[in-house]
Structure formats: C-alpha cells, structure tokens
Amino acid sequence: MAVTVRFAPSPTGRIHAGNIRTALINWMFAHATHGRLILRLDDTDAERSTEEFANGIREDLSWLGLDWAEEVRQSDRFTRYDEAVEKLKAGGRLYPAYETPEELELKRKRQLARGRPPVYDRAALKLTPEERAGFDAEGRKPHWRFELESRDVVWDDLMRGRQHVDAASLSDPVLVRADGTYLYTLPSVVDDIDLGITHVIRGEDHVVNTAPQIQLFEALSATTPAFGHHSLLVGAEGQALSKRDRSLSIEGLREEGIEALAVTTYVATLGTSDPVAPHANLDELARGFEFGKLSRAPARFDPHELRLLNAKVLHMLPFSVVAGRLSAMGAGGGEAFWHAVRSNLAVLADAEVWWRVVNGPLAPVITDASICEQALALLPPEPWDGSTWERLAADVKQATGAKGKALFQPLRLALTAREHGPELKHLLPLIGKARATARLEGKTA
C-alpha cells in the first residue's frame, strides 16, 4: 500500500521550528517512499482557529518548499464525526457524563492529594437511567466519554521501538464536549481512517494519546496505521520550546534573512546521526532519511548554529537560485557578481552592500593620496579581467615602493570604502574603469 502521511497543525498560531520538524519528517518520508503528504488543518476549535493563521501555515510550508498533495480541514467534516459518534454509541463505547469542569477539577485535586493518579473514576458509567433522565430534565447537557478497554496497548513505534501503554491508567477520553463540539481525539482518528493514512508520524507529546486512539481505530472497525513519535526540540538552554518565541517561528526566521534551505537542512539533520551540514536541496535531504537515524533524546535548536549553517548554505547556492531575489533587491550584476561576493555573506541581504560597492554611488575613503594618484595613472585600459588587479598592484608597488598593508589598505578603501571584503581581484573588473578612476580621484561614483 502506498504511503500516505499527514501533517496536522491547528491554525491557532504560526508554526515554529518544532512543528516544522514534524512536517519535514513526514515530507521526507513521503518523498523517499513516493507517497503522499496531506495537510490537515485541525480547526475544530472555532474560537481560536483563524483563516489568517491557516494562510500563515500554508505560506510557511510553501516558503520552506514543503508541498502537499491534498488539504483537508476538520471543520468541513463534522458529519463524518457525527456518524462515528453514532457508531460508537451503538457499540456501547460512548457514554454521557454530567460532571462540570469544576467538579472534574476537584476530583483530580482530591486524587492528587491522596497520591493517586488523576484518572477519571467513571462515576458517570454507574448512573442509572433515572438519574440520567433527571439530569436531562434539568437541562444539563452531557459530554461524551469513550470507554477504554482496560488492557495493555502495544505497538511497534517507528522511532521508539515496542511501546506499551496501560489503558487502565488512563482516563476515558472526552470525545464530545457538552456544547456538542469535538475534541482532537475523534476527528483525528476518523480523518486518518477516511484519508487512508498509513503512518502517523508526530511528536512524542502524542505517545500516550496513541493508546486511546488505537482503541478508537478498533472500535470503528478500521485498520490501525503505523505510529512513529519523534523526540521534541528544546531551546539552546535545554528548555521546552515556546510557541511564543518569535526567533523560532518560521516567519521570524524568514524575516531575519535565513534561507529556507538552511532551516530545513538544520531541522532535518538536527538530532540525527547525520552531521549538520549544507545540502543542495530538499531532495538530497529526503534521500538520506531513515527513521533509525533519529535520536530518542531531545535535541537543542540553537539559533546561532542555524545562522552558521545559513552562511554555508548561502556560499554554495548557485546563481540561478538567487538571481531573482538579487534583482528584486536591486542588485543586478549577474553570475560574476554573485561568485565574487557570496562567500562574504551571512545573509543574502548583505549582497546589497557589495552591489553598491560594485555599482555605486559610493564615497571613497582616501587615506593615502599619493598611492591613489599612482594607481590612477597606472590604470590599464579596459577590458579588465581577473588578472588586472594583480598587474595594477604590482605596478603601483614598483612606482611607489609601498608594499603590504600600506599598499593594499589605501587602495581597498579608495575603491570599496571599507577595510574588509571580497577579493579585489574579483571586484575590480566589476567596478570598472570609470568608477575606479573617479574613486581614486576621491569622487563619489
């Protein structure tokens, strides 16, 4: 059976590095197996879900180059969930409970105080028909719980190996709220069934959820998919990743000028036995993907390391990939320009500075007028190429007797107005004779 996986964010916020890891693992697995990735928007919570966030998620995924074969949203599928509810009621697995959230909270506190796990006591299961009728007559609306079978639930996790969860230690999950809306559990399972999901790949925060979900698949007479739970990312200090940390949001990273490929490469190789090193594209990343390479320990997401990787990724990007963005920022210059400056960039936007150096206008910095004068006089006729600079430097050296830093620093400052930068050998032909002449004369050009 063809692999079908899904990435299921809830559009109640923008996605961050941790979500992207889940998305990326799903994408790489689908890609490597020629399977399908479905984007599922878990928007059953109408209060907090917005179209704006949904757009933001699509935008972030697209920017990263993670495409999906199909999109579904849970808010379109309520009739399917209603049908599943009927089936579960008919099977005797769904029961109404009338406790208020406050009452449940109190029960939990009492259990905790006695050193007991806060597991629902199933009081509602012991209600007589008369008692239920009484609550209904009062106008109290029940919420609905799924009655778990008290047994050890076992599955072979794609990343963690054989897992056991004792369902007897779990509360019967609420599937339907008192107001009739759905919680995450049932829609997720019904969607996985209807969409033919073969592998549920998500973060380890869902490990325990898997037990009730497996029982739900069974109660709905469906085949259970394979499950895989990856470890979660933590921050540079080992702390849990916060959804509010903007430096970790995909939007924030993009605004900072980080390359999409740097983000995907970093997140895909972090916490794996592969070195964190630049890759040419997503395909290459997907080719190396194996569940077994993922460590079970949480990995640290360090923005500083990401920036270092970003520079390396940038240095190997071919001109064709950046041409459009360079001209969008007003830096023309073509391939020669790109190759001259790319290894001096930390983020692509830095190219703009060098474009001005090459294209002007630029006010030169004259620190040694006589060297500049000599250079001016010795400027050869165009066309200029990669050897022009070396000849010029040699000629000026001979004419002035200056050498080393005393020779090169004044020329660099006059020609580029800064102390550091790409090799003048590559820069000089791009600057051209007209601008070089003017700058050596101390004029802005």
If one asks whether residue 160 binds RNA (CB under 7 A), the answer comes out as: yes
Provide, rounded to whole angstroms, the least separation between the CB of residue 354 and RNA.
Answer: 10
**Amino acid identity, residue 48?**
R
> Which one of 55-63, 78-86, 159-167, 361-369 is the stretch in contact with RNA (CB under 7 A)?
159-167
Is 262 near RNA (CB under 7 A)? no
Q: Does residue 272 touch RNA according to CB under 7 A?
A: yes
Token pair listed for 309: 């990787």
The SS3 of residue 202 is strand
Considering only the stretches 127-135, 236-244, 373-381, 436-444, report the one whose residues sit in contact with RNA under the rule CB under 7 A: 236-244
Supply φ then ψ for residue 317, to 5 degrees. Answer: -70, 130
Interface size with RNA, residues (CB under 7 A): 84
In angstroms, rounded to a whole number, what is the distance separating the alpha carbons of residues 158 and 292? 8
Q: Does 16 bind RNA (CB under 7 A)?
A: no
Phi, psi (deg, nearest 5) at residue 64: -75, -10
Applying CB under 7 A, among 153, 311, 430, 445 the residue interacting with RNA is 311
Residue 298 sits in the site that holds RNA (CB under 7 A)? yes
Measure the CA dihedral 73/77/78/81, to 10°: -110
Residues numbered 340-399 forming contacts with RNA, rule: CB under 7 A = 343-344, 390, 393, 397
Nearer to RNA, 219 or 411 (CB): 411
CA distances from 91 to 28, 147, 153, 375, 391 (A): 39, 11, 20, 92, 89
Selection from 306, 271, 307, 304 nearest residue 289 by Cα = 271
Q: What is the dihedral of CA 364, 369, 373, 375, to 10 degrees?
A: -70
234 binds RNA (CB under 7 A): yes
**How far apart are alpha carbons 179 and 144 in whole angstroms?**
10
**Binding string to RNA for residues 136 to 155, with x set by CB under 7 A, is what?**
-------x------------
Q: CB of residue 121 vs RNA: minimum separation in angstroms?
A: 11
Among 32, 33, 35, 45, binds RNA (CB under 7 A): 45
The interface with RNA within residues 63-92 (CB under 7 A) comprises none
Shortest separation between residue 159's beta carbon and RNA, angstroms: 9
β 94-97/143-146 pair status: antiparallel
User: With respect to RNA, which residue has the nearer C-beta, 397 or 433?
Assistant: 397
For residue 201, give the nearest of 159, 147, 245, 138 by alpha carbon.
159
Q: Is 139 exposed, middle or buried (0-12, 13-18, 19+ CB in 10 A)?
A: exposed
Subset of 239-258 contacting RNA (CB under 7 A) = 239-240
Residue span binding RNA (CB under 7 A) among the ranges 202-210, 244-252, 325-333, 435-443: 202-210
Residue 112 engages RNA in binding (rule: CB under 7 A): yes
Contact between 179 and RNA per CB under 7 A: yes
Instruction: Kindly report whether the peptide bond that precedes residue 383 is cis, defined as omega within 30 degrees of 0.
Output: yes
Q: What minimum distance in Å lies between the beta carbon of 295 and RNA?
A: 3
CB of 240 to RNA, least distance (A): 3
Q: Candidates 32, 127, 167, 183: give the one binding RNA (CB under 7 A).
A: 183
Q: Closest Cα to residue 9, out of 182, 157, 188?
A: 188
How many angstroms separate the CA atoms of 188 and 190, rounded? 6
Nearer to RNA, 327 or 387 (CB): 387
| Smallest separation, CB 359 to RNA (Å) | 19
CA separation for the pair 230, 228 (Å, rounded): 7
Tell me if 171 contacts RNA by CB under 7 A: yes
Residues in region 115-134 near RNA by CB under 7 A: 115-120
Q: Which C-beta is closer to RNA: that of 282 or that of 311?
A: 311
Amino acid at 76: D
- Minimum CB separation of residue 2 from RNA in Å reads 25
Q: What is the DSSP letter of 11?
A: S
